[in-house]
Amino acid sequence: MSTRPTHAALDVREVHELRELEGVNALFERIWGSAPGASPMGVEQMRALSHAGNYVAGAFADGSLVGASVAFFAAPAGHALHSHVTGALPGFGAGLALKWHQRDWALARGLSTVTWTYDPLVRRNAHFNLTKLGGRPVEYLTSFYGAMDDEINGGDDSDRALISWELSHPAVVAAAASAAPPVSVPSDAVTALSVRDGLPIVLPAAGRSDARTLLVDVPPDIEGLRRADPGAAKAWRLALREVLGGLLAEGARVTGFHDRARYVVTRDTSE
């Protein structure tokens, strides 16, 4: 039984048959703007994963596929699922419905954690993952997939943040009940990375060395910026890699995404 009601018009379920998997492949090509045969997950791979008992699911609105997700069992064995790709058409709430369906599926199999990667420069994805789902980035992965030339990534370096979704964590339980409290920002928080005239401004390391809470801004629309000003987009990639990537590597924790615009990062400064 679902722990959270999904959109009334959506039917979210596992898919197994080739015809349905071909539909998922076509949907992924449409969402990512991929060339035919260059979907983020092909039919053959989905068929094998599904047959082996992994997670391949679709969200249907009035019988039409509007979202899909593919995940596979991961280490540590018996505890984790890695969600490799989730895509959804706008306007249906399919992405959110798929994640809650995925959580129910994982819990029913005794799993405790779901992981996935996302581009930490994309504001809406950060808000979705941290605020709507209660997940937390735990690792910064530099150029994780190598160069990508689909319409979404636009040839940018494929830096990713690894989300750990602890399925029974209070933040996730609260998000499932639509009861997550707003992210609080202490008055002494320091902005380590900010936006000025569309460009990243990095606070020198000396200015952030003693701060316990740091704010890390991301641009309003990195995808549009990649098309309009690739140089500025590259500057953002390098700045976030330095600041957020550096903080996570030092052991800092991302504790939320504030005002749909900035990461809230907390670190232990007691030593």
For 215-224, what is each residue's pLDDT tens digit? Answer: 999 999 999 9
Using pLDDT thresholds of 50, 70 and 90, give the confidence band for residue 154.
low
- Residue 111 reports pLDDT greater than 60: yes
DSSP, residue by residue, 230-258: HHHHHHHHHHHIIIIIHHHHTT-EEEEEE
Across the range 156-171, mean pLDDT stands at 95
Q: What is the mean pLDDT of residues 108-125?
A: 98
Mean per-residue pLDDT for 14-31?
Answer: 97
Give yes or no for residue 239 having a pLDDT over 50: yes
- Tell me the pLDDT band of 156, cut-offs 50, 70 and 90: confident
24 membership: H or E segment, kind and range:
helix 18-32
Which percentage of the chain shows pLDDT scores above 90? Answer: 84
pTM above 0.85, yes or no: yes
Can you give the pLDDT at residue 267? 94
Per-residue pLDDT band for 139 (boundaries 50, 70, 90) equals: very high
Q: Quick one: pLDDT at residue 268? A: 84
Which positions ≥6 away from 10 have C-beta within 8 Å? 59, 60, 61, 66, 92, 93, 94, 97
Q: Which residues contact 113 (CB under 8 A, 6 or more apart)?
A: 79, 80, 81, 164, 165, 166, 167
Average pLDDT rounded to a whole number, residues 189-193: 97
Q: How does residue 205 score in pLDDT terms, banded at 50, 70 and 90?
A: confident
CB 78 within 8 A of CB 37: no
Overall average pLDDT of the 247-270 stretch: 94
Neighbours of 256 (CB within 10 A): 21
Contact of 47 with 17, CB cutoff 8 Å = no
Q: Per residue in 35-59, pLDDT tens?
A: 888 899 999 999 999 999 999 999 9
Q: For all residues of the chain together, what is the average pLDDT? A: 93
pLDDT above 90 (res 1): no
- Count of C-beta atoms within a 10 Å radius of residue 78: 10
Identify the structural domains of the chain with CATH numbers, from first to last: 8-72+93-103 (3.40.630.30), 190-266 (no CATH)
Name the band, by pLDDT with cuts 50, 70 and 90, for residue 3: very low
Tens of pLDDT, residues 59-78: 999 999 999 999 999 999 99
